[in-house]
Amino acid sequence: MALLKTDSKEALRITCIFAGILTFFFLIDFGCIRLAEKKWTKGLQQAVETMLEEKQPDKWKVTKPVQILSPFSTSAALYELQDKNSAEKEYAVIIRTTTLFGPYPAVFLYKKNSGAEFLGYTCVSGRVKRILEENTTNPLLAYWTQKIEKITADSLPKPQ
């Protein structure tokens, strides 16, 4: 006497094949995401390095990314900076901001004792960059300058 009827066996076989195919594609997706994440992080780090070199030449070295422990992690990245001339450590935040010309990544320098300072927009050049950076009274920049302290509060080590 068979434990399962042939129809049940066939349904179980089809279900197992489907689950196997689904698992296979899930693993491929997961692997691609992990590979892309590393490249994305390096690209953001290069953008931060370029902006720092443009605004404050030969002053900062980007040492490592810091994980943001807040919901802003989807649109921001935090990097630890080392001052080339001293042991001072500061942080750079690159965050997607809305501008008149669409969303652009903005770089902020964050110092624990003095807060955030807007450095400029990356991935922008020419007339658009000039217009964006001349508009220093932009309320969105003021908003992000204040918000960066909250973004970094949970992510940075607490002073002892």
Residue 37 structure tokens: 């994440």
Neighbours of 108 (CB within 10 A): 27
Q: What is the pLDDT of residue 160?
A: 55
Residue 111 identity (one-letter amino acid): K
Q: Where are the domains of the chain?
A: 38-153
3-state secondary structure of 39: helix
At 10 the pLDDT is: 86
Residue 128 pLDDT:
80
Q: Which residues pair with 110 in a beta bridge?
A: 91, 116
Contacts of 126 (CB under 8 A, 6+ apart): none
Provide the CA 31 distance to its chain's centre, in angstroms: 19
Residue with tokens 């197992």: 16
Show the tokens assigned to 102.
Answer: 């669409």
The confidence score (pLDDT) of residue 53 equals 87
The whole-angstrom separation of Cα 136 and Cα 142 is: 9
- 10-residue averages of pLDDT along the chain (160 residues): 67 93 96 88 89 86 84 82 82 87 87 84 81 77 85 72
Structure tokens that stand for 77 in this block: 């990245």
Residue type, 78: L
Q: Considering the entire predicted model, what is its pTM?
A: 0.75
* Residue 33 DSSP SS3: helix
Q: Identify the pLDDT of residue 2.
A: 53
